[in-house]
Structure formats: C-alpha cells, structure tokens
Amino acid sequence: MDRELEVEAGVPVPAAVTAEGDVFCDVLPAGRYVTVTHVGHPDELIDVTGALLNWASAQGLEWDMEDTDDGQRWGCRLEIYHTDPGEEPDMTSWETQLAFRLAG
C-alpha cells in the first residue's frame, strides 16, 4: 500500500461495556450495505474486494466514502470473520463476509 491503513477491530457484545484507554464502545452505522461472502484463504480477500468494488461501480452504486488528502475514508467497511480458527484451522475453509456501506 502507498499509504497508511487505519483499522478498527470490533467484537460483538450483547450490551454496552465500560471502555478504557484505546478501547471504546460503539455501534455500526445504520444504512444500506453491499455484502459478499467468501469461503477461502484470507489472502484472497484483496481480489474479492476488487471484484465487489468493480461490480458495484458497474451497477452505478456509490459508497459511503470520501477521498481525503490522506486517502479514502470510509463510513463503514467491514470484514466479518465467521470462522473460529480454533475450530477450523484450514484457512482455505474460512468464511468471511465483506459488508460496505452505500452512500445515502
């Protein structure tokens, strides 16, 4: 990558928790999302992401994203890992859902 990538990791919890330091409690923004589920090695997600972005562009969809001097800033762009590596060590069997929020 040519620029720095800012990432936040999240864990679903049933209720708000007390946050300290770099840990904070928040909710995902409401809205419409484009999603795709990938079964395979996480290294393949770059190509899956590219295919999703290209598909959405061909459909005329607009992302909740803005270009800044530091690069793109997304309103909400998720990688949701549905597979527990402790239960399924074979990374080629992992299930990952991409969910990117649309504008408006």
Handedness of CA 104, 10, 5, 88 (dihedral sign): negative
pTM, full prediction: 0.86
Per-residue pLDDT of the chain (104 residues; tens, 9 = 90+): 677 788 888 888 898 888 889 888 888 999 999 999 999 999 999 999 999 999 999 999 999 999 998 889 999 999 999 999 999 999 999 999 999 999 98
